[in-house]
Chains A and B, each alone.
Chain A
Amino acid sequence: MENRNCGCANDCTTRREMIDEIRSLNFAIIELSLYLDTHPFDKKALCLHDKYCKELDELKEKYQKAFGPLTIKYPSDDWKWLEGPWPWERGNF
């Protein structure tokens, strides 16, 4: 796949690393959100949630620019949404 932005020689490694990081942040946010649902006044959890949300937004923007959309709500000149592998297929990211 064409890599327009990151300038790294090994696209797959970069893509894999970025998606792993996105997945980690995603998970941390899900976990913190469930915790905050029952502990809404926990300052430390709120702070972490805020931090991870910002990091995730930035990273997703960078990833989507380079490798294509993660949701249908990402504007693009060509419809890269069709590009596999899909999450359920072998070799997925």
Chain B
Amino acid sequence: MGKGEFLMWTYEKLLEYPVNIKNTDPRLAKVIISQYGGPDGELAASLRYLSQKFGMPDEKAKAVLNDIATEELAHLEIVGTIVHQLTKDASIEEIEKSGLAPYYTDHGVDVYPASANGVPFTAAYIACKGDPIANLQEDLSAEQKARATYEKLIDLCRDNPDVLDPLRYLRQREIVHFQRFGETLRGVQDKLAEKKFYMNPKNSLCSNNTIE
């Protein structure tokens, strides 16, 4: 945003929302990791939108996907920071008691993109359907699922205000993104209706099935 910043992307040495967690608590890290590398997490969100932007038919949709994807990358760092600060100084006893031992076995206290159940991140969490309406519907759903996940995490972290604060912020952002995607979808629908675009005639699967 400043002068001379014309690359995608420039790292800013600043979290979008501050995270300073006083007490180690690996029990919470074990569930919050899901928003790092789980099915509805920030990595999936950023990759989903970054990949889908290439196929968007109108300027608003290109911009919204690009800009929300960029914000999701900032959220990925916030979630990673929460997990890091919750585990960094954990003792072996704390790790054993919290149930983090299986994760610790494979990753120590690194921040590894996996779900709360330990499933490693996979691109199967995202879709690029070659259809802007289908893609935007997925994005709307993804934002709702992320919001719901944050609400579950907020319940689970109810005793730790240092963790609750950034989680509440991240939940709010999902709601704003959902709103913007809804407006984008309406724009794309209008655009497609305007061109009377019902199917791609070059698509061989459809070409023998012309609607009379």
Contact = CB atoms under 8 A, between A and B. Distances in A.
Interface of A: 19, 22-23, 26-27, 29-31, 33-35, 37-40, 53, 56-57, 60, 69-73, 81, 86-88, 90-93
B3 A92 contact: no
Nearest to B83: A88
Interface range on chain B (Cβ under 8 Å from partner): 35 or more
Interface in B8-23: 10-21
Q: Chain A contact residues: over half helix, strand or loop, or mixed?
A: helix
Interface string B47-90: 00000000000001001100110010000010011001100100
A93 B12 CA distance: 12
Contacts of A40: 60
B91 to A, nearest CB: 17
Contact of A33 (B11, B18, B67): B67
Given A38-B64, A38-B180, A88 B13 contact: no
B123 interface: no
B60 A37 contact: yes
B18 A23 contact: yes
A90 B21 contact: yes
6 contacts: A26-B14, A70-B13, A73-B5, A87-B13, A88-B15, A88-B80
